[in-house]
């Protein structure tokens, strides 16, 4: 193909890509967005695909010995496209690292009073029920029905191949999906219901603490403590901590309406929600980790009890150290 025909065929493609580059560099669109990009006679495609197409045209022009002016033009397009594409990927990695190393632990420490309050609301009912049921076993039936008690006993039967499951036929992958849905729903309702003056978050913190404490107390006094502790040990550090954080975020949202200060209530609520976003992202991440560990590690009855407990203790040490020490000094 002669250069004139080559240019006539692909000129609209290059101009469309150049226009998109200018928009990207001007900050009007997210770099390397996967949205559609009209490329003249070519089918609509993503930015990354368009970039590869420009690189292909540049390689063809070099191979066919087209003019230096055309080669310089295509080379400039490809270099600018490379910069936009990989700037986006680098920025995403940087933001992710910044979130994990600085933003999330700093957000938790910034709300330490609410985190402490949520911890007391969750753990006091939990351990109170464990102690109460150990002394008065019939107390478990004031929280759960006899059918629910029987189901809990079957899930943590020492002879079960997979602990913590109502149906042994469920695969690890299926349970992973179930745990994700269950964990996210618990976290979501604990955060969102905080808008009712914090009462919803208060209720779910106490309710979840009572429920878990009742199950734990009943299984311990029944002699099923090894499968139960072995099950919760691995993912408990992530799931229980995330529930507490969800309660703290919900309380923050609720208190913003009860005590708006000099702000209008709607402005106070908007500010509280925006300040809780980092915390909510971290909660989702922790619940996903908990679901993965719960499905593929915690429920595996073939793993030795001592190993599960050791891993669980290690997980608690890592989680606590992460929120206490990480992100205290921002490095360049």
Would you state the pLDDT for residue 39? 45
pLDDT tens-digit profile of 132-157?
A: 999 999 999 999 999 999 999 988 98
Shortest CA distance to 273 belongs to which of 249, 243, 241? 249
Report yes or no: 62 and 35 within 8 Å, Cβ to Cβ.
no
pLDDT tens-digit profile of 184-240?
A: 999 999 999 999 999 999 999 999 999 999 999 999 999 999 999 999 999 999 999
Would you state the pLDDT for residue 188? 96
d(CA 219, CA 240): 19
**pTM of the predicted model over 0.75:** no
Sign of CA dihedral 301, 306, 308, 309: positive
d(CA 315, CA 295): 16
Q: What is the mean pLDDT of the chain?
A: 87
The pair of structure tokens assigned to 50 is: 């368009």
The pair of structure tokens assigned to 196 is: 């009712």
């Amino acid at each position: 193909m002669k250069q004139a025909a080559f240019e006539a065929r692909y000129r609209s493609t290059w101009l469309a890509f150049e226009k998109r580059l200018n928009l990207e560099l001007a900050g009007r669109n997210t770099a390397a967005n996967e949205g559609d990009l009209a490329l003249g006679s070519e089918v609509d495609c993503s930015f990354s695909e368009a970039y590869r197409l420009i690189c292909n045209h540049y390689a063809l022009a070099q191979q066919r010995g087209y003019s230096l002016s055309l080669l310089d033009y295509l080379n400039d397009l490809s270099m600018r496209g490379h910069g936009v594409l990989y700037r986006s990927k680098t920025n995403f990695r940087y933001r992710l690292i910044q979130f994990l190393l600085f933003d999330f632990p700093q957000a938790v420490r910034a709300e330490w009073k609410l985190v402490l309050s949520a911890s007391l609301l969750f753990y006091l009912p939990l351990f109170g029920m464990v102690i109460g049921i150990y002394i008065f076993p019939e107390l478990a039936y004031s929280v759960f029905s006899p059918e629910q008690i029987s189901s809990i006993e079957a899930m943590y039967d020492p002879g079960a191949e997979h602990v913590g499951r109502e149906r042994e036929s469920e695969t690890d992958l299926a349970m992973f999906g179930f745990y994700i849905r269950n964990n996210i729903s618990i976290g979501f309702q604990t955060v969102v219901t905080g808008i009712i003056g914090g009462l919803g978050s208060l209720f779910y913190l106490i309710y979840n603490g009572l429920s878990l404490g009742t199950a734990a107390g009943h299984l311990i006094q029944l002699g099923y403590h090894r499968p139960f502790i072995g099950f919760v040990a691995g993912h408990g550090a992530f799931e229980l901590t995330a529930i507490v954080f969800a309660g703290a975020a919900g309380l923050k949202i609720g208190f913003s309406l009860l005590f708006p200060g000099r702000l209008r209530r709607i402005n106070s609520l908007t500010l509280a929600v925006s300040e809780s976003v980092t915390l909510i992202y971290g909660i989702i991440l922790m619940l996903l980790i908990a679901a993965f560990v719960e499905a593929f590690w915690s429920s595996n009855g073939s793993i030795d009890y001592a190993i599960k407990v050791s891993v669980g203790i290690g997980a608690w040490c890592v989680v606590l150290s992460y929120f206490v020490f990480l992100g205290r000094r921002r490095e360049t």
